[in-house]
Amino acid sequence: MSNEKVLIVDDEKLIRWSVRRQLEEWGYTALEAESGTGGLAQIRAEAPDLIVLDVRLPDLSGIEVLREIKQNYLSIPVIMITADPQLDDIKTAIKLGALDFVKKPLDFDEFQVTIANAIDRLQLRSERDSLREEVKRRSGYHEVVGRSPRMVELMNFVRKVAASEASTVLIQGESGTGKDLIAKAIHYDSTRAEKPFVAINCSAIPETLMEAELFGHERGAFTDAKAQKKGLFEIADGGTLFLDEIGEMSTYLQAKLLRVLEDQIIRRIGGVKDIGVDVRVIAASNRDLEQGVREGTFRQDLFYRLSIIPIFIAPLRHRREDVLPLADFFIERYNFRFRKSLKGITPEARDFLVRYDWPGNVRELKNAIERAMILEESDYIRPTYLPIQVTGQAPGYESTLPVTTPDSPEIAPLSASGPTMASWRPLPSGRMIPVLELPREGTSLEEVERELVGLALRQTGGNQTHAAKLLDISRDALRYKMKKFGFDSESDN
Ligand SMILES: Nc1ncnc2c1ncn2[C@@H]1O[C@H](COP(=O)(O)OP(=O)(O)OP(=O)(O)O)[C@@H](O)[C@H]1O
Ligand SMILES: [Mg+2]
C-alpha cells in the first residue's frame, strides 16, 4: 500500500478537507497548508512526495510558491489547481516545471489518476529516500554559508536578533551580499516563522501604488479601489515585512512608515479604523543611508529608528575565506538541481576564485559557478569555463600559486628545502599570505618583519608610498620601520 505524503496548499478550508478525505481514502498521507508561506514551511518540515498547489493564495501567489519549490526542491512534483485558469498562469506554471494544471471543482475520478501518475513518476523508492534526506538536510534552506570571522560573528548576531523582540532591523550591504538571505534567516529563525514573510521592493513600485500595497484601502478610496484590500502590514501580521531598497522610498511614505513603526497601528487608505499590527520590519539597502540622510533624501528620524539594530554584511572581497566554502556549497546545490556530480574545483580555478574581487559579491560567484557547471564536462571546474573577468585578470598573476587543498592530487607539496611560496591563503582581512611552516627551532618575528619591509621596498624600487601600500601601513609607519631596521631612506618620494 502506498503511503506517500501529499501536501495540499489551498486557502479554502472546504477544498482542503475534501481533497484530504479523498487522498486518505486512496491510501496517501495528507498534509495541509492554508497559505503559501505555510506551505513552504510544511515542505521544509515534512518533505512531502507530492504537492497540490492552489494558484490563488492569500499571501504569495501559487506561482511564486511554485518557483520557490522548484528552486529548492526541484524533484518534488507539483500539481496546480485553480478555479479560474488563466492562460498566463498555465504557461508560467508549466515553464516552471509544474506537472499538471487541474481545474476546480475537482473531478475526483480524474484527480485520482493524476495523483497516481504523479506518484508513479517518483520512480524508485530509494531515489525518493535520498531525496527526502536531501530536503531534510536542506531544511535550513536559508542556509547561510560563511566561515570568515566576520560572517561567524554576523550569524551569531543574527540569531540573537531573530530570537529577540526587536521590531525593526536594518540590513546594509552591497548588492549580492545576501541581504535577502539574512532577512529570511532572521524570519525563519524566529518565533514568527510560521507567520508570513512578506517582501516588497520599494524601488520597483510608484509611490501611490506603494502606499496602497503597504496599508491597503477601503472600497472606493480612489477610482481604482473597486473592493477593499488588505495592505502588506495586515497580511504580514505576526510575521515579518521585508522592505527592500528602503533608500528608494519617498519621503512621504518614510514619514508614514515611521508612524507605523512607532505606534504599531495602521489605517487603510480611505479608512477611519485604526488596525493594530504586530509586524517585524526588516529594511534593507545597498546604498549608504547615512549619506541619504546628509543629502536630504532619507529622513533622519526614520534612519535612527531603523538603525537600532543595524546589520552590515561585508562585501565578499573583504572576507575571501568565504569564497571557496560558498563555491563548494553552490556546486553541491547545482549538482542536485542539474543532476550532475561534479567533485570540486581544480586548484588553479580555486586560485582564480579567491583572487578575484567579486564586485557583484555572492550573487556573481553563484552565477559563475552555475555557468561553469553547465559548461564543464569534466569532474572538476577548471578555469576554462570561469568568466573572463575572473581569469583574465591581475597583472603579475602567476598560475603557479595554487591554494592548498588537502585532497587535491595536483597540489605541489611544500618544498622540502625550506619555505617556498608554494601556496597562499587569505587572511581575515581578505589579503593573501603565503602558507609557511615555522622551522622547528622557531624564528624571529622582528627579522621576518624586516625581511618583508625589505621585500616591499625592493619590489617597488624603493617607492615608499607604494611599499607602505603593499604592507597596508602608513608611510610614517614604514619610515619608522625603515629607520628601526636600518634601511636607507634616501630615496624619498
Ligand atoms: N552567505 C551566503 N550563503 C549562501 N548563499 C548566499 C550567501 N550570501 C548570498 N547568497 C546567495 O547569493 C544570492 C544573492 O543574495 P541576496 O539576493 O540575498 O543579495 P542581496 O544583498 O539581497 O542583493 P541585492 O542588493 O541585489 O538585492 C542569493 O542567491 C543568495 O542565496
Ligand atoms: Mg536583495
Dist. CA 448–CA 224, nearest whole Å = 74
When mean pLDDT is compared across 48-62, 277-291, 456-470, the lowest value belongs to 456-470
Confidence of residue 75 (pLDDT cuts 50, 70, 90): confident
Segment 159-176 shows an average pLDDT of 93
Residue 297 contacts residue 253 (beta carbons within 8 Å): no
DSSP letter at 52? E
**Chain mean pLDDT for the chain:** 84
The yes-or-no verdict on residue 460 having pLDDT over 80 is no
Q: Span 369-374, mean pLDDT?
A: 92
Q: Reply yes or no on whether the pLDDT at 164 is more than 50.
A: yes
pLDDT at residue 64 greater than cutoff 70: yes
Give the separation between CA 420 and CA 401, rounded to whole angstroms: 11
Q: 436 pLDDT band (50/70/90 cuts)?
A: low
Q: Per-residue pLDDT averaged across 153-171, rounded? A: 93
CA distance 167 to 49: 37
**CA distance linking residue 241 with residue 214, whole number of Å:** 10
The 10s digit of each residue's pLDDT in 442-453 is 788 888 888 888
Atom of ligand 1 nearest to the CA of 146: 1
Residue 186 has pLDDT above 80, yes or no: yes
Q: Which pLDDT score is estimated for 455?
A: 82
Average pLDDT score over residue span 218-239: 86
Quote the Cα angle for 434-435-439, to 5°.
115
Helix 475-485 to helix 445-459 angle, to the nearest 10 degrees?
120
Cell 578575484 belongs to residue: 356
Q: What is the DSSP letter of 328?
A: H
Question: Which of 363, 364, 366, 367 for a ligand 1 pocket mutation test, highest count of atoms within 8 Å of Cβ?
Answer: 363
Residue 400 has, within 13 A of its CA and on its CB side, a CA count of: 6
Q: How confident is the model at residue 76 (pLDDT cuts 50, 70, 90)?
A: confident
CATH number of 445-485: 1.10.10.60
Q: Given this model, what pLDDT does residue 426 score?
A: 66
Sign of the alpha-carbon torsion through 228, 233, 238, 241: positive
What was the pLDDT predicted at 150? 92
Give me the residue spans of the domains in the chain.
5-137, 152-313, 318-424, 445-485
Residue 197: strand, helix, or coil? strand
Of all atoms in ligand 1, which is nearest to the CA of residue 313? 21
- The yes-or-no answer to whether 5-137 and 318-424 have a common fold is no
Q: Which of 318, 326, 337, 362 to mutate to test the pocket of ligand 1 (most atoms within 8 A of CB)?
A: 362
Between 263 and 405, whose confidence is greater?
263
Q: What is the pLDDT of residue 290?
A: 92
**H-only helix segments in 321-442:** 323-338, 347-355, 361-375, 388-391
Q: Which of 148, 158, 180 to mutate to test the pocket of ligand 1 (most atoms within 8 A of CB)?
A: 180
Pocket of ligand 1 (CB under 6 A): 144-146, 173, 175-181, 286, 326, 329, 362-363, 366
CA distances (Å), origin 427, targets 9, 321, 361, 433: 48, 8, 18, 7
Which ligand 1 atom is at minimum distance from the Cα of 366? 12
Q: Over the stretch 306-363, which tens digit does the pLDDT of each residue have?
A: 988 999 999 999 999 999 999 999 999 888 878 889 999 999 999 999 999 999 999 9
- The answer to whether domain 318-424 has CATH 1.10.8.60 is yes
* CATH top class, domain 5-137: alpha beta
Instruction: Report d(CA 324, CA 330) in Å as an integer.
Output: 10
The DSSP line for 200-228 is EETTSS-HHHHHHHHHEE-TTSSTT--S-
At 120 the pLDDT is 76
User: How far is 231 from 269, CA to CA, in rounded Å?
Assistant: 9
- Of all ligands present, the nearest one to the C-alpha of 315 is 1
Predicted pLDDT at 423? 53
Ligand 1 atom having least distance to the Cα of 151: 1
- Fold classification of 152-313 (topology level): Rossmann fold (3.40.50)
Lowest mean pLDDT: which of 72-81, 136-145, 283-292, 359-368?
A: 136-145
- The answer to whether 54 touches 10, Cβ cutoff 8 Å, is yes
Q: Which residues surround ligand 2, an ion (CB under 5 A)?
A: 179-180
